[in-house]
Structure 1
Amino acid sequence: METRIIYQYFGSEDSSDRDIVFFVPELPATIEARSQWCKSLAEAHRHNTHDHRRLNANLAVTAHGSLLQVYKGTTDELNNALYVTYALHQQDFEPQIRQRLPRNTDLKFIRCTRMLLSALTRTVFRATVKQALQRGIHQRIAALKTIDFGQVEATAKGYKPEDIRKLAAFQLGQTLALDTGIELYTKNRIALYYPQLSDYLQRKTPVQTHALNDMLVRFISRLEQRVPHMTTTEE
């Protein structure tokens, strides 16, 4: 008899899509197998719940009330996001995460850098960011310095401009707050901490992009200050 897999919804309480983590006994050995299993679980969940919102699904392994391993993202961030936002959603299972993990701020800066560049690969910055993603942190910083969110227009496929701005605002706000010791895991909390990011987090359009560009400049400045002291600049 197949064991029912426990899952948890997490993240922003008013999101148009749903973030979900499936807790599994262990992760498959290959990325391809993990991806296929994650997709299969998400499709089965949609069928069983008749919820047709877009699912952002992930896999995780737990041990002693905290995450041990994750398919996507970083273990510390996902662990704490699950812990903090459990009560914001109607859940079908008891909480699996019973404690926070210490945050790795350097890793958050590195991951934020990659996510920002990756989100821009189908924009006018395509050539610059794709090249930077294949290189080291200094090339990635140089690429970030060329970004002007005011030049991000409709993409051929994938993210819309407002989706890119939302992702950037979320990641920049979350990372810069963590740099001050504050952990934020929903767009509403980020908007309270950085009101200038509110319109981007709500995907409002049209918008001026000065505030978002200013946050990017702040991020780059702090990243450049942190890099010389990092033990690694890779995820």
Structure 2
Amino acid sequence: MQFPPRTLSVIIPAYNEGTTIHLILDQLKAVKLTGNMSKEVIIVNDCSRDNTEESIERYMAANPDMPIRYLKHAVNQGKGAALHTGIQHATGDYIIIQDADLEYDPQEYNLLLSPVLRGFADVVYGSRFIGSNPHRILFFWHSIGNKMLTFLSNAFSDLNLTDMETGYKLFRRDILQGLLLEEKRFGFEPEVTAKVARVPNVRIYEVGISYYGRTYAEGKKIDWRDGFRAIYCIIKYGLLARI
């Protein structure tokens, strides 16, 4: 099937990822998208305190053929704020979120694009908990927390997602840019889910993806406080917004 030329905007929020940012960019460069799709890479440096900026600038200088737009915050504001900046500047037909660590595999973009390109979906979530894709075994209570947050989110959004907190979410750009997003940190996931679920006639799909999780010693940043914030966001944007 022939598709018209379209662009996927890849938004990378980066905070103290100087040791891995070039590796994820190498992976992005190697990705061959289906459906006559090109890539637009938007990196938002959320005022990193390590050598993230130097790593990005060095990579851009060595790879002038790669379409990278580099943006940065003068003050650290949080992952959600970095995503807001990236979303605002995106120009592609679709937007996908890519963390700067190595937990998610860009080679699986085509899995998320497939329901969209076939005309079935407007939004696609990549679930770490369905399918036979590789999944690193890590923290029991972290997985229980993920399932609890997904259950609460589903209860208020009336969706049946298996992984609301996934880092791989793909949106039609007009839908995502049409949402009024407020959360500055990790509350982005439950907020965007609650709000996209209320978009009239939106078609949300879910596909299985791989997950190469990091330990806290390896740089994982989310902690139990973000879990409580997620519960607050589920109630605020999922329940109270309907009252």
TM-score bracket, shorter-length normalisation: under 0.3
TM-score (norm 2): 0.25
Richer in helix (by share): 1
Determine which structure has greater relative contact order: mean sequence separation of CA pairs < 8 Å that are 6+ residues apart, divided by chain length.
2
Richer in strand (by share): 2
Flag the structure with larger Rg: 1
TM-score (norm 1): 0.25
